[in-house]
Chain A
Amino acid sequence: MNAYTVAAALAVLVAISADLFVLHTALVRSLTWWMAYGIILFFQLLTNGWLTGRGIVRYNDAAIVGSERAVLFGDGRIAYAPVEDLAFGFALVLISCAVWVWTGTRTGSSQ
């Protein structure tokens, strides 16, 4: 079992479920979120490519879809980073933004 692959996929499911069914923020149904995520994704590819391409973070090939080799593209990697990192980043930013929007709607301080 690729532990990171499974955990990252679960994190995405949990984040989307929280956004839709727990916090009712429905960010994933808004164009604003996807525009913001497009920008975030571009910068994630840059910064994550730096961290993984230079070997600052190294992955155990048993945990990911690809292998330990950090290639620019292919072998389960995009811009040196394992594809799992994209799922992980998506979940982290979505749930943070969803909680942010949720706290705003509750206190009425959202703009």
Chain B
Amino acid sequence: MLVLVLIAVLPLHNYYRLDVMGQPARLLKAVLPVAGVFVTWDIAATAAGQWQFDPAQTFAGRLWGLPLEEYAFFVVIPFAGILTLEAVTAARARRNKS
């Protein structure tokens, strides 16, 4: 599912000539601290039994009770959100120019 999200958003990068990937440091600054907070929340809520992950449909590996995909989620989803925001910004700028 996360791979599908990446397949959906990465073409935006070329189509709108975005410069998100060209700023890896800025991207890490936007994604990692926020991801850290949300992962902490996720770990605590999972430990408290607020939700659980189906072992049959997730990778076997667990880190602090979370499937490894869950950590990828908190990087991929904010990244997809930032790309979407930049794409809409670029699309609107393009329209205003023409």
Interface size on B, residues (CB 8 A): 39
Interface size range on A against B? 35 or more
**Is A73 in contact with chain B by the CB < 8 A criterion?**
no
Q: CB distance B34 to A111 under 8 Å? A: no
Of A3, A92, A103, A109, the contact of B45 (CB 8 Å cutoff): A3
CB distance from A105 to the nearest CB of B (A): 11
CB-CB under 8 A from A40, the residues of chain B are 80-81, 84
Complex CA gap A59/B48 in Å reads 11
Of B51, B86, B89, the contact of A63 (CB 8 Å cutoff): B51
CB-CB under 8 A from A95, the residues of chain B are 34
Interface residue SS majority, chain A: helix
Q: CB distance B26 to A56 under 8 Å? A: no
B22 nearest CB neighbor, chain A only? A109
A residues apposed to B, CB below 8 Å: 3-4, 7, 11, 27, 31-33, 35-36, 39-40, 43, 47, 50-51, 54-60, 62-64, 89, 92-93, 95-97, 99-101, 103-104, 107, 109, 111
Complex CA gap A51/B27 in Å reads 26
Complex CA gap A51/B58 in Å reads 11
